[in-house]
Amino acid sequence: MDGCLNQHMEQLKAPIAIKAHIAEDWCLAAGKIVEIRRWGQRIRIGQVDAVAADGTIVWIAGSGVETRALFERAQGFQVWVPVLAGLSLAG
């Protein structure tokens, strides 16, 4: 392996701190990996497949055994966008 690749591999072994911030405008979450929360509890993590035009509904893409799911702001759901080392994980 070259030196650059070795350096990146070593960085991957280091502990990683992940933080998240709430997405006020759900339209901006389209295509991103997000965490869905409700009343402080994590409900699901996945990629935003679609967002309603008015930004009040998100669809999380199916993955593995989890099917595509719809979450509504009016029902108390929140969209949180994870951040890794100061950079967004997706999008």
pLDDT of res. 85? 54
Half-sphere exposure of 1 (CA within 13 A, CB side): 8
Q: What is the mean pLDDT of residues 2-20?
A: 55
Contact yes or no for 79/34 (Cβ under 8 A): yes
Confidence of residue 1 (pLDDT cuts 50, 70, 90): very low
Q: Is pLDDT at 7 greater than 60 in this prediction?
A: no
- Residue 82: pLDDT band (50, 70, 90) is confident
Q: What is d(CA 32, CA 83) in angstroms, rounded to the nearest whole number?
A: 11
Report d(CA 35, CA 32) in Å as an integer. 10
Tell me the C-alpha distance between 42 and 82, whole Å. 12
pTM of the entire predicted model = 0.72
One-letter identity of residue 44: R
Q: What is the pLDDT of residues 23-67, one digit of tens each?
A: 999 999 999 999 999 999 999 999 999 999 999 999 999 999 999
Element (H, E) at 13: helix 3-13
